[in-house]
Amino acid sequence: MRVTPGMTADSAIYNLQQGRTAIEKLNEQIASGSVVNRPSDDPLTTRQLLDLQEQIGAGDQYSSNITKASLLLSVTDTALTGMAGLMQQVKKIAGDMVSGTLDATTISGAVGNLTQLKTQLIDLGNTQIGNQYIFAGFSNNQPFDPNGVFSGTQDMLNIEIVDGSTISANVAGGSLLRGGKPPAAVGTGATAGTSPVDILGSIDALITAINNKDTAGISDAIKNMKAGADQITTARADVAGRTVRLDNMKNMIASNQNTLRGIYADRQNVDYAKAGVQLSQQSTAFNAALSATAKLSQLSLLDYMK
Amino acid sequence: MGIGTIFDIASSGISAQRLAIEVTGENIANVNTEGYSRQQVMMENKPVTTANGFGLGTGVQIAEVRRSYDGMLQMQLVNGNSSYQESLTRQQALEQIEPSFNEITADGLGKAMENYFGAWQDLSTNPSGTAERQALLSRSQVLVDTFHQVDSTLAGVAQTSDNNLVGITAELTDNARNLALVNTQILATMSVGGNANELLDQRDLLLRKMSEKVEITTSLASDGTASVTLPGGEQLVAGTSYATIYTNLNGGTATNDILITGVGNPPPAKNPGGDTVVAAAGGGGSLHGTLGGTLEIRDTVIPEYRSQLDEMANKLVTVVNAQHSQGYGLDGTTGNNFFDPAGVTAAGIKLDGALTSAKVSAGLPTGTDPIPTSSGNNVNALKLADLGSSSVAFSTGNATFAGFYRAMVGKVGVDTEEVQNLSTQGAAFLKQLNALRSSNSEVSLDEELTNLTLYQRAFQGSAKVINAATDMLDIVLGMVR
C-alpha cells in the first residue's frame, strides 16, 4: 500500500486521540474514585447501583423512623415505670387500710396520699415529648383532665420500620389508666380484680370506701389495685417487647446497610492498584506514540536534498 | 532525417519534462488541499518513423494527465459519511441529555422522589409537627422543580435540534448550488476538450459534504456532471440545475418541516403550500446524515423520554391525590388535592394552589378516631409513604416510581452507549476508507520530490542533447566553410 505523509499525520492524530481518550477515562475514574460516572459508562451496572442506592436510602429512612419510635417508646417506658411505682404505693395504702384501724387521722392521711398519687398518675398520663402526648393516641390535646377523664383517642401511632411492617410507638392511655374508652366499670364483689381495670376510677372508689370505712369496698379496691398494677406491668412488658423488636430491626438494618454498601463499593469504587497499573501502561504507550509521532513526522526527503 | 530531427526530439523532451515538472509543482502545492487527487503525467513516445531505414520514435509526448481516483471508494465514503454523521448527531444530543439522568454522581429526580416519600415517613412519626409538614412541602416543591428542570432540558435539546435544521438545510442548499456550478464548469471545460481533473475533485468533495448532511444517491453522467437525489426520490441537483431545500414552520406541530422546491437554475421560489415535503414531524427516519439524526432526536428520542416523564408525573399526581384527598388536614378539611390535578405532565406538575401546611392530610378516620380526626392521626401519612414502595400500573408494566425511573435512566444509558459505539465504529470505518483514499489519491511529498529530481534530470538531459546537436551543427557548418 502506498503511504503518504498525510496518512501518517491522520493516523497519528487518530491514534493519539485514542490514547488521550483512554488516559482521560482512567484519569476520570481515579480522580472521582468511581468506576461508573454516567449511565452510558455501563447501563446495566447503573441500574444495579441505583437499586442499591434506593435500598440504602430506604434503610436510612427506616433507621430514622426506628430512632423516633425508640424515643417515643423509651419515654413511654419511663412513664410506665413511674406509674408502676405509684401503683405499689396505692396498693400499700389500700393494704394498710384493710388491716389497720380507720381513725380520722389515718383516713385523712390515706385519702390525701391517694389523691396525691392519683394526681401523679394523671400527670404521668399527660407525659409529653415535643408536642406529642404519648398516651393521647391521635389526639394532640392533654389526654387526662384533673379528674382523670380521658379525652384522647385509643389509636396506635404506627410507624413503618421496614417495608410493609409497622410498629406501634405508643400505649393507649384510656385502656392503660381507665380500662378503656369509655372507662371500664369499677369492679365490686365478684367482678373486683377482673381486667380491664379502671385504675383512676378504682382509686376514687377506694377513697370513697376509706371515707365510708367500707371494709368490703376496700378489699374490692385492693383486688382492683392489684389487677391495675398488673395492667401497667403488662403494658411495660409490651413496650419492652417492642423495644427489643426495634433494637433487633435496627441491628438488622445496620448489617443490611453494611452489606449493601459493601456491594455498592465493590461495583462502584475504583480498584486503585488496577487503575494505577492501567494508567502507567496507557501513559507508557501514549509516551511511545508521542515520541514516534514527533520523530516520524519530521522525516522528509527535503532534508536530504540539496 | 537530419540534425533538425535531433532538435525536434530534444525539444519534445524539454517540453514534456517541463509539463511534468508543472504537474509535480501542482501536486506539491496542493499537498494539503482537501479533496485534491494527485495527478500523474503519462508520457508516451511519438509516432515511429522509418526514415533511417529502421523504426525510431520521434521524441516524447504527453498522453494524459491522469487523476488518481477510485470511484468505488468515493461511493463508500459517501455512504459511510451519512451513517457516521447520523450517529454523531444523536450522540451529541444524548450526551447533552445524559447529565440530567445521572443519578449516580448527582442527586436528580430519583433522589427527589425518594426524599418526597421519605418526608411522608417523617410526617407519619409526628403527624402534627409543623417542621415535618414544612419539610414535606419544601421537598414536594423540590420534586416538582426537578420534574420541570429535567423536562425543560429535554425540551431545550429538542428545540435546539429543531433550530439546527435551518442551518443544515441552508448548508445543503448551498452545497447543491455549488455542485450545480461545478457541473456547469465541468461541462464548459469538457466541451473544449480541456482537463477537468480539479473540477472533478471539487465535485467529489461536494458530494461527500452533502452526504454528511443527508443520505444521497448520486448518478454520474458521461459528461462528468453529477446529479443528486434524496432518499425519498426528490431531485436535489440535476446537472446544472438545483433545488432549494428549506425549513418551514408547521403551525400544527410547532416544529420545522423540511421542504424542497423543484429544480432550476436559479430554482423556483419557495412555495410552502405546493413544494414537496421531504420530512414532516416524525418522518425523518430514512434521511440519515446530520439532517436525519437531528430529526430523529427531535421526533423520536426526546418525545419518548418526555412521554415517560409525563407518564411518571401523571401517575404521581393521580395516585397521590387519590390517597391524599381521602384524608383530613389539621384544619379538619377533607378532599384536598396535594398536586394540582390539572398538571399531569412533567412540565405542568405543581402543588395544588390551595395546599397549605394545615391542609396536608395526614389523618384518616378510624373506628376509635372518627371524623373530625385528631391532629396526631398518621394513618393517611403512612398510606401515602407506602405509595413510594408500592407498584403502580405504568404502560410498560407494573413498577414502583423509583423502579420506573431507574428503567428510564437505564434506557438513557443504553441509548447513549449504543450511539457512542456506533459513532466510534463509524469513525474507524471512515478512517479506514479515508486511509485507502489517501493511499490512492493523496499527494506524497517524498514521491513528488523524487519525481521532481527525475524530471529535472530528464530536462537537463534533453537540454544536453540540444547542446550536442548544436555542436554537431557547428561542426557540419565548419566543414562547409
Q: What pLDDT shows up at residue A302?
A: 84
Nearest to B376 among A37, A43, A157 (CB): A157
How far from the centroid of its chain's Cα atoms is residue B402's Cα? Answer: 34
Give yes or no for residue B175 having a pLDDT over 70: yes
A57 touches chain B (CB under 8 A): yes
Residue B70 banded pLDDT, cuts 50, 70, 90: confident
CB contact under 8 A, B368 and A155: yes
Q: Give per-residue pLDDT as tens, B389-414.
A: 899 999 999 999 999 999 999 999 99
**Cell triple for B294:** 437531528
Q: Which residue has the higher pLDDT, B147 or B192?
A: B147
Cα A11-B70-A16 angle, rounded to 5 deg: 5
> Are B243 and B270 spatial neighbours (Cβ–Cβ below 8 Å)?
no
Residues in contact with B318: Cβ distance below 8 Å, sequence separation at least 6, in sequence order: B344
User: Measured between alpha carbons, how far is A208 from A104 in angstroms, rounded to an integer?
Assistant: 14
CB contact under 8 A, B438 and A157: no
Task: Give the gap in angstroms from C-alpha B7 to the nearest C-alpha of chain A.
Answer: 31
Q: What pLDDT shows up at residue B295?
A: 93
User: Of A216, A198, A217, which is closest to residue A207 (Cα–Cα)?
Assistant: A217
Residue B251 banded pLDDT, cuts 50, 70, 90: confident
Q: Give per-residue pLDDT as tens, A223-245.
A: 999 999 999 999 999 999 999 99
Nearest to A155 among B99, B369, B450 (CB): B369
Average pLDDT of the segment spanning B442-461: 92
Q: What pLDDT shows up at residue B336?
A: 92
Task: Give the gap in angstroms from C-alpha A33 to the nearest C-alpha of chain B.
Answer: 11
User: Measured between alpha carbons, how far is A179 from B140 in angstroms, rounded to an integer?
Assistant: 42
CB contact under 8 A, A158 and B443: no
* Per-window interface: A 245-304 vs B, CB < 8 A: 268, 300-302
Residues of chain A neighbouring B366 (CB-CB closer than 8 A) = 138, 155
Average pLDDT of the segment spanning B142-157: 94
Exposed / middle / buried, residue A293 (Cβ in 10 Å: 0-12, 13-18, 19+): middle
Q: What pLDDT shows up at residue B23?
A: 94
Q: What pLDDT shows up at residue B153?
A: 93
Task: Give the gap in angstroms from C-alpha A73 to the nearest C-alpha of chain B.
Answer: 12
CB contact under 8 A, A157 and B410: no
Three-state secondary structure call for residue A269:
strand
Residue A139 banded pLDDT, cuts 50, 70, 90: confident
Q: What pLDDT shows up at residue A215?
A: 85
Residues of chain B neighbouring A302 (CB-CB closer than 8 A) = 445, 449
> Are A197 and A229 spatial neighbours (Cβ–Cβ below 8 Å)?
no
Task: Give the gap in angstroms from C-alpha B218 to the nearest C-alpha of chain A.
Answer: 27
User: Measured between alpha carbons, how far is B20 from A52 in angstroms, rounded to an integer?
Assistant: 73
Nearest to B402 among A38, A54, A302 (CB): A54
SS (H, E, C) chain B: CCHHHHHHHHHHHHHHHHHHHHHHHHHHHCCCCCCCCCEEEEEEECCCECCCCCCECCCEEEEEEEECCCHHHHHHHHHHHHHHHHHHHHHHHHHHHHHHHCCCCCCCHHHHHHHHHHHHHHHHHCCCCHHHHHHHHHHHHHHHHHHHHHHHHHHHHHHHHHHHHHHHHHHHHHHHHHHHHHHHHHHHHHHCCCCCHHHHHHHHHHHHHHHHHCCCEEEECCCCCEEEECCCCCEEEECCEECCEEEEEECCCCEEEEEECCCECCCCCCCCCCCEEEECCCCCCCCCHHHHHHHHHHHHHHHHHHHHHHHHHHHHHHHHHHHHCCCECCCCCECCCCECCCCCCCCCCCECCCCCHHHCCCECCCCCCCCCCCCCCCHHHHHHHHHCCCCEEECCEEECHHHHHHHHHHHHHHHHHHHHHHHHHHHHHHHHHHHHHHHHHCCCHHHHHHHHHHHHHHHHHHHHHHHHHHHHHHHHHHHHC
**What is the chain B residue with the closest CA to A42?**
B413
What CA–CA distances, in Å, run from A86 to A218, B4, B237?
Answer: 18, 145, 103
Q: What pLDDT shows up at residue A135?
A: 92
Q: Give per-residue pLDDT as tens, A173-214.
A: 999 999 888 888 888 888 888 888 899 999 999 999 888 888
B274-310 exposure pattern, b = at least 16 Cβ within 10 A, e = fewer: ebbebbbbeebeebbbbbbbbbbbbbebbbebbebbb
Task: Give the gap in angstroms from C-alpha A172 to the nearest C-alpha of chain B.
Answer: 11
pTM of the model: 0.84
Residues of chain A neighbouring B104 (CB-CB closer than 8 A) = 34, 36-39, 46, 49-50, 53, 268
Instruction: Give the mutation candidate from A155, A168, A298 for the B interface (greatest B CB count, under 10 A).
Output: A155
Average pLDDT of the segment spanning A23-50: 91
* Per-window interface: A 67-96 vs B, CB < 8 A: 68-69
Task: Give the gap in angstroms from C-alpha B342 to the nearest C-alpha of chain A.
Answer: 30
A61 touches chain B (CB under 8 A): yes
User: Measured between alpha carbons, how far is B103 from B110 in angstroms, rounded to an integer?
Assistant: 7
**Cell triple for A58:** 430506604
Q: Which amino acid is at A262?
A: G
Q: What pLDDT shows up at residue B1?
A: 56
CB contact under 8 A, B105 and A138: no
Average pLDDT of the segment spanning B208-216: 94
Residues of chain B neighbouring A153 (CB-CB closer than 8 A) = 368-369, 374, 376-377
CB contact under 8 A, B386 and A164: yes
CB contact under 8 A, A132 and B99: no
A136 touches chain B (CB under 8 A): yes
Q: Give per-residue pLDDT as tens, A59-113.
A: 999 999 999 999 999 999 999 999 999 999 999 988 888 776 778 888 888 899 9
Q: What pLDDT shows up at residue A94?
A: 87
**Cell triple for B115:** 426524599
Nearest to B446 among A154, A169, A300 (CB): A300
Instruction: Give the mutation candidate from A42, A46, A269 for the B interface (greatest B CB count, under 10 A).
Output: A46
Chain-wide mean pLDDT for chain B? 91
Instruction: Give the mutation candidate from B125, B130, B361, B405 for the A interface (greatest A CB count, under 10 A).
Output: B125
ipTM: 0.83
CB contact under 8 A, B413 and A41: yes
* H/E segment holding residue A66: helix A43-99
Task: Give the gap in angstroms from C-alpha B131 to the nearest C-alpha of chain A.
Answer: 11
CB contact under 8 A, A2 and B444: yes
